[in-house]
Structure 1
Amino acid sequence: MIKEGLAQGAALMCLLMMAGFALAGPSGLLAWSENQRMLDQRIDQIANLEAERDRLRNRVDLLDPRDADPDLAGELLRSNLNVAHPDEMVMLLD
């Protein structure tokens, strides 16, 4: 009789622990909204990174040595090397 009570008590404790983990564990119901919020953040971050990758890929394509875009090449020369034509006037803005 005492053995049965102990066995039932142990089984009840195991079931209560399992229910507690299902409710408040790292993948339980209470963590569901936090996981969903983090997933939404990661999706936004991926979208931003893909847009940045596409922008950089376009710039690399425009700077292809076989067929470089003259406007972009001129812009990069002027901004990075401080090169200007003799007939150009440079205005510095703060």
Structure 2
Amino acid sequence: MRTKQKRKSWFTPLIVPAITLPCLAYFAMQSQTGRYGLEAGQEMQGELAAKTKIYDDLVRSRKALEQRVKLLSDGTLERDMIDERARRSLNMSNEDEITILERWKS
């Protein structure tokens, strides 16, 4: 009976590390620079701060508009609000008055 003997190769133990090291390097790089990595997290924090400021401005503007609507729709209308609305709607003013046109922020 014949037996085949295999000689151990020095290359065989290096196969697993050769596959795992590039995978680990890829995941390490993605955790730093990827879409949800550390650098992207800092950018998202900056965007969040900017959007929060815009949101706060919109809330403040909405509260001011709600207050104006409340003054107009309440049973007790204020005289100056009625006068302001009438002048704005009719686009009229008295001869001795100075008209200052306001632009609405959009």
Structure 1-normalised TM-score? 0.79
2: CA distance between counterparts of 1:50 and 1:3?
Answer: 66
The aligned residue for residue 67 of structure 1 is 76
1:22 paired to 2:28: no
The aligned residue for residue 65 of structure 2 is 56
Segments of 5+ residues of structure 2 without an aligned counterpart are 1-8, 101-106
Q: How many residue pairs were aligned?
A: 91
Q: Percent identity?
A: 25
* Corresponding residue SS for 2:15: helix
Match of 1:81 among 60, 78, 90: 90
Structure whose CA Rg is larger: 2
TM-aligned CA deviation for residue 92 of structure 1: 6.2
TM-aligned CA deviation for residue 46 of structure 1: 0.9
* Corresponding residue SS for 1:27: coil
Segments of 5+ residues of structure 1 without an aligned counterpart are none
Structure 2-normalised TM-score? 0.72
Higher relative contact order (CA 8 A, sep 6+): 1
* Corresponding residue SS for 2:77: coil
Letter of the 2:89 counterpart: N
TM-aligned CA deviation for residue 89 of structure 1: 2.6
2: CA distance between counterparts of 1:93 and 1:73?
Answer: 17
Higher helix share: 1
